[in-house]
Amino acid sequence: MSRSCSICTNPQRDAIDAAHQRGESNRRIASQYGLTEASVRRHCASHVTELPEAKRRDASVPHARKQGENIPQEVRPGTQAAFLAAFVELGNEIGACRAIQIDPGTIDWWEEHDTDFSFRYARAKAERNDVIRGEMYRRAIKGVPEPVVSGGKVMTNADGSVMTVQKYSDALIGKLASAWMRSEFADKQQVEISGKDGGPIQSQQTVALDVRGMTPEQLAALRQVLEAGQ
């Protein structure tokens, strides 16, 4: 027997249906009403009757402007390109939307209805993640120069330049080793669960590498291994 639709009995069903009829994305509706995107998709596909376009614009439940479609088709590519550039630079969706003065709901609508934008946005997210990985690598392996301070004063060299020392992040070394060299550096916990007929089923749970107990020499060796494997 097929399961009943939870949204059909939801006290906010009328508002949910009206939001869908206005053209809002399933993702945004789910977020607004505390639902799963899958349940919204199933409900809208099976239990919501599409309204004609004219009536859709006049859906009774008040809400912000209809996302995505408010931006004319002829300027949409430029707006999307500006958003993606801002996203890569700032690293987050809300900040990028503010930078180009666009409603975040527009991004939801584009992701669901514009295949080309959805693909380019996924690429932009991957690029942003690579920037983060690169910065982690720089701080863990290459090190970051920090001023030498003694007695509350910044020390200087004979030529007047600021004296610096290279600092490394031991915590980031551990994260990189656990992520990139999991089989070698991740600690493993053995878990035994009773299986069929009482026989054991063994599984392994991987735990992030803890570098706090490592000596400076071990950390330096680990740094060299990561740098060689980059």
Pairing type for strands 153-154 and 144-147 reads unpaired
Structure tokens at 125: 């997210």
Range in 22-26, 85-89, 210-214 with the lowest mean pLDDT: 210-214
Structure tokens at 222: 């680990």
Nearest to 70 by CA among 120, 95, 105, 40: 105
Mean pLDDT across the stretch 68-80?
Answer: 76
d(CA 81, CA 117): 9
In the predicted model, is pLDDT for residue 153 greater than 50? yes
In the predicted model, is pLDDT for residue 107 greater than 60? yes
In the predicted model, is pLDDT for residue 88 greater than 80? yes
In the predicted model, is pLDDT for residue 65 greater than 50? no
The predicted structure's pLDDT at residue 52: 47
All residues at 6 or more sequence positions from 174 whose CB lies less than 8 Å from its CB, including other chains = 185, 208, 209, 210, 211
The predicted structure's pLDDT at residue 116: 93
The predicted structure's pLDDT at residue 67: 47
- Whole-model pTM: value is 0.47
Report CA 215 to chain centroid distance, whole Å: 34
